[in-house]
Chains A and B, each alone.
Chain A
């Protein structure tokens, strides 16, 4: 078994470097997700507007984000901004901008759906008890909204973690990039390195995303309304 090439994973600090790369991916996903949740809640509230113009703009934003591949958006921000606007932003910042832009749209739509799924009578019985609009939102509507959007939000988080693998193409050194470096460095001693490294990366994504999606299932049961 000496030639299988699996030893590439245990040479030097290779494993540690892969995890470091993974943390970069996770960091980008976490920052983008946190911003997306915050902005998405505001976006979702705007999306429930009855004004047709506001609605149309929101729709356009959401559809644009959904139709455009994230990779194109990344290139647009990273290369486009540098070339045409003369702004030199790092790959990581570009990634956060793009993923937040995407996440806010998706999260906004999730929040909109959750808000609209709350029956009108929930508002009415709250008003009927003499509660004000603000109180009704904070005590009655928001808690129910959060409960119903948790599964979809977690799903978005795992999608975001996976999509961060694209940032390798704008020069961010994350897990896939580290993997490539290791493969390149050991191309001659271990020709099968690619299989093991990419296999390991696959497992790493699984180790990270599986518990998150499990958590979603647990929360969904727990918080059942």
Chain B
């Protein structure tokens, strides 16, 4: 009983804590700033740990490998004061990042901003397809299971959800690749089905999201239908349909939308993993490449883009929660 209450309390503390709109925006702005700081510090630390002369590397990052000259390196050295103590350089580095000058990638020399703009479209497409698929799968299953809790359908989908959720996203991707490959009698190109079709990556990510979402929806429906408010609506004389529509939908939607806020982290992690597995040319894939190739500028750009998307998505969910549940408005 205590744990059940504690659990309930935990879910309500974040979404239901009443907050003014200004406070909400401020909180998310601070979060964005922290994201930039973390990314900047990581980029700086990576740079420091790389071998070779820092001024040359930074100049290469900014102007491209072909343009690096002793003069350019000296200019960087003077501008960033590379002979100053490391904490001063750290501040200068992060300060430079906050101007959103992301520089050029070490590998191709492309401007990082351009590369990200191109990748962002792919990632958004993948994420939108995945979320759409997840909702399409989870909503009917969750509602049906929730309307008859303990029934056969509920138990079967419950077990399926547990098994699916216990499968790591990349593993699900690999299994899907292998299954399709067996079906199509075609070997996947070195394990990475080359980014031709969005279907498999979107399905993988969609299934990962749906596995939890199904149970969240199911539990929200169970709680709503067994609530005293729903019972009272029936006793007032409302038909089951009318009571569900007028009192069920919105009350059940509130915790589900709040949970979507929790799921944005899962979504973004999934984007990184699934893109990497399927070589889908999005930001997540670019990030793993940048980590692997130790491409500092690209890493900063992609991590910043993903981190800020996370902040933006969380903010949109906050707004949705406020629209659905007036109690969360400060």
Do chains A and B interact in one complex? no
